[in-house]
């Protein structure tokens, strides 16, 4: 599972992490172009396995998904 803010408030996107992690075995990778260090810390606290600042390349996305699959 990949979560981005896609025009939604970042708080909304970050608020999805814990429910997703609690309801299934989804790995959550957060990608955002507007996040700061506090947002990054919150994402990891909520259970994200990775956090990437946008822009991000297709290769970086693939590497993040592969790393999450290995966890």
**What average pLDDT does the segment 16-33 reach?**
84
Predicted pLDDT at 41: 93
CATH of the domain at 23: 3.40.50.2300
- Total residue length of the chain: 71
Q: How far apart are CA 9 and CA 18, in angstroms?
A: 16
List the domain range (segments joined by +) for residue 65.
2-70
* Interval 25-60: pLDDT, tens: 788 888 888 888 998 999 899 889 999 988 989 999
What global pTM score does this model have?
Answer: 0.79
More confident residue, 21 or 7: 21
Write out the DSSP string of 18-54. HHHHHHS----EEEESS--HHHHHHHHHHT-SEEEES
User: What total of structural domains would you count in the chain?
Assistant: 1
């Amino acid at each position: 599972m990949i979560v981005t803010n896609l025009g939604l408030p970042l708080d909304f996107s970050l608020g999805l992490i814990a429910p997703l992690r609690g309801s299934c075995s989804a790995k959550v990778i957060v990608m955002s172009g507007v996040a700061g260090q506090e947002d990054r810390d919150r994402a990891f606290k909520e259970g994200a396995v990775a956090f990437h600042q946008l822009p991000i390349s297709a290769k970086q996305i693939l590497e993040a998904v592969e790393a999450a699959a290995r966890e």
